[in-house]
A and B are shown apart, each in its own frame.
Chain A
Amino acid sequence: MITRLRKLLRISPSPGRQPPSSAPLGGIELRVEASRFDSVPSHVEDVRDGEEAGFLLCGVANAGNRTVLLAREWLPIPARAKVRRSGFGLAWTSAFSAEVLARAQHLQAAVVLIHSHGRSPMPELSGPDRASAAKLFPAFSRILTGLPSGSVVVGADAASGVFWRDGSPLGTLTLLRLVGSPIRLWPPRAELTATRPRRRLDRQTLAIGPRSSARLAECSVAVIGVCGGGSHVCQQLARQGFGRIVPVDDDVVEEVNLGRMVGSTPDDVDRTLKTTVMRRMINSIDPDIVVEEVPSRFPNQATLEAIKSVDLVVSCVDSFIVRDQINTFCRRHHIPLSDVGMNIETEGKQLESAYGQLIVVTPDSVCLRCGGLINEAVLEREKRQRPPGYDRNPNAPGDPQVVSMNGVLASEACNAALDLITGYAAGSRGAGWWNYNGRSGELVRCETPPRRSGCAACAEAGLGDPM
């Protein structure tokens, strides 16, 4: 038996298609690491040997009302599996379909067929595409129980598609997100969304481009840990014009926080949640920003659910164990991560050293673990120094901190966030590692460490929700 997928190479505008709104998306999102996606167009757009296509195998996550498919493997249809036919269209052997299904079953992965309509600005599945998909993917999805299967067509900065699950229609592709630096959305929502001019952002717009304010307004950032570093981050994200900010912290303000937590006041001591202080501060800067307080601790389930739906995460925690888990979570969901950390050592009553780091991780860059910031020895040392429950102990000694040093790293984290969303640095920034010396004032971009094999976090890349 030969599986057939025919399609017309016809560029046609799609009547009746509505521009997306800036509200949180429902439907189905396909999320692919930018570097992995680079190999997709180069394959499917190369029609010298007839039409081409391939399968993405994907993990699955449910983020609110959105189903997110997270790319894990790309299986282009090889020449050996193609069946020669006259005219347009592509057919491949049933043996290759069986290979794809077997691999998907092994990985417990969703299956997405990708093909191209050249440089179409609004590609749509053609009639024959839809007919072929309607024969193939209900059958695939009945075999891959509970997992979506579908067909996606890509064009010039746009894509569309249709999906089934358990043999029934599931929905259409709402968004293709290419996660790199910057994050690209197909279709590019900001260009299609009518947003009112924001005079408050005029000067920033002059600096980084006319489309930046609309793009930022539709983006969301989770800030995990909102005291010394995270409160600075929240304040600057608000002024930069991010549309939704998700502060995550389960602590109440203490007196010792007043020296470094932006937005806190003496009235907050022992009575106000840190996330509430952030909401108050952010909305005093801009009442239009949606602030979703998450007054719980990572990795509480409520925290995980809230973070799944954001565009990027900024981690400002003081624990390597928690940092490791945030790093792995972002890996599982292909979410970019900026990690801010500061460590001050004292000798007697003197500051001995003050080193910090900013690490910006995209799904295709070196992560905190495979780059070496976190390893088993570091985690073991912290476990010995801070056994489970340590941070609930009110008598635990605090770490030395200086607000202005936290602020340097937080500002750089916000520059990184701005670049990840707008691409203002035109490729000269992106993912990377920065070291800060709070004593000498040096902030230095380091050579990115080589990726280590066997990384436990990268082993979970694209897995999404646990099965």
Chain B
Amino acid sequence: MIVAELAAAFGSATDVTPAEDQPLHVLLSNLNLLAPWQPNPTSGLARFAGWPDQRPDFWVSIEVSNGSGPPRSSSEQLVLGKPWRQYSASITWPVEPRTATRAIQLWLNRFADRT
């Protein structure tokens, strides 16, 4: 259900959960970021642990850059065998409506900041 919702909202969403006893992991491969952030489209990965009481964890491609570097306050993190970029974002949780789409959008709002 979450995967279908995210696919409808972001164009592409694939369930990449590594095992049946693990939280849902969703690969979003068609995300569009605000300028100057690039590349567009780019990919993101969401993990819905403790959902919906907890916000999902979210990473973007390590290639994401504003032309001079990655987002400030960010670091590379290994998730599902490859490096992703984890970053800080001020997100108040929970929000209503408590939907997966809204949660990812809150994470992506960080890219309204140009650095």
Which A positions have Cβ atoms within 8 angstroms of B? 297-301, 304, 321, 325, 328-329, 332, 376, 387-389, 391, 453-454, 456, 459-460, 463-466
Per the bound structure, the CA–CA distance linking A389 and B77 in Å amounts to 11
List residues of B (11-64) whose CB comes within 8 Å of A's CBs: 18-19, 21-22, 49
User: Is B75 in the interface zone, CB < 8 Å from A?
Assistant: yes
- The contact of B83 among A304, A332, A454, A460, by CB within 8 Å, is A304
Per the bound structure, the CA–CA distance linking A459 and B87 in Å amounts to 25
Interface contact tally, CB-CB below 8 A: 55
Per the bound structure, the CA–CA distance linking A454 and B49 in Å amounts to 12
CB-defined contacts of B74 to chain A, threshold 8 Å: 388-389
Given contacts A332-B81, A463-B81, A464-B81, contact A456 B76 (CB under 8 A): no
Nearest CB on A from B12, distance (A)? 16
List residues of B (68-115) whose CB comes within 8 Å of A's CBs: 72-78, 80-83, 86-88
- The contact of B77 among A299, A301, A387, A453, by CB within 8 Å, is A299
Task: Please name 7 further chain A to chain B contacts, defined as beta carbons within 8 Å, in addition to the given A297-B76, A460-B19, A466-B80, sorted by A numbering.
Answer: A298-B78, A389-B72, A389-B75, A389-B88, A456-B22, A460-B18, A463-B81
- The contact of B78 among A328, A391, A454, by CB within 8 Å, is A328
CB-based contact A299/B76 at 8 Å: yes
CB-based contact B81/A466 at 8 Å: yes
Given contacts A300-B83, A304-B83, A389-B88, contact A463 B77 (CB under 8 A): no
Nearest CB on A from B75, distance (A)? 4
17 contacts between A and B (CB under 8 A): A299-B78, A299-B83, A300-B83, A301-B83, A304-B78, A329-B81, A387-B88, A389-B72, A389-B74, A389-B75, A456-B18, A459-B22, A460-B80, A460-B81, A465-B81, A466-B80, A466-B82
Nearest CB on B from A460, distance (A)? 5
Per the bound structure, the CA–CA distance linking A299 and B88 in Å amounts to 18
CB-based contact A388/B75 at 8 Å: yes
Q: A388's closest neighbor in chain B, by CB?
A: B75
Nearest CB on B from A277, distance (A)? 24
CB-defined contacts of A463 to chain B, threshold 8 Å: 18, 81
Which B positions have Cβ atoms within 8 angstroms of A? 18-19, 21-22, 49, 72-78, 80-83, 86-88
Nearest CB on A from B81, distance (A)? 4
Nearest CB on B from A303, distance (A)? 9
Nearest CB on A from B45, distance (A)? 11
- The contact of A325 among B21, B49, B77, by CB within 8 Å, is B77
Nearest CB on B from A102, distance (A)? 16
CB-defined contacts of B72 to chain A, threshold 8 Å: 389
Given contacts A299-B83, A388-B88, contact A454 B77 (CB under 8 A): no
- The contact of B73 among A297, A304, A387, A464, by CB within 8 Å, is A387
Given contacts A304-B83, A387-B88, A388-B88, contact A454 B21 (CB under 8 A): yes
CB-based contact B81/A300 at 8 Å: no
Per the bound structure, the CA–CA distance linking A4 and B74 in Å amounts to 56
CB-based contact B78/A388 at 8 Å: no
CB-defined contacts of A389 to chain B, threshold 8 Å: 72-75, 88
Q: A298's closest neighbor in chain B, by CB?
A: B78
Nearest CB on A from B73, distance (A)? 4
- The contact of A388 among B18, B81, B86, by CB within 8 Å, is B86
CB-defined contacts of A298 to chain B, threshold 8 Å: 78
CB-based contact B22/A321 at 8 Å: no
Given contacts A325-B78, A460-B81, contact A388 B73 (CB under 8 A): yes
Per the bound structure, the CA–CA distance linking A329 and B75 in Å amounts to 17
CB-defined contacts of A300 to chain B, threshold 8 Å: 76, 83
Per the bound structure, the CA–CA distance linking A231 and B82 in Å amounts to 27
CB-defined contacts of B22 to chain A, threshold 8 Å: 454, 456, 459
CB-defined contacts of B82 to chain A, threshold 8 Å: 301, 304, 466
CB-based contact A459/B77 at 8 Å: no
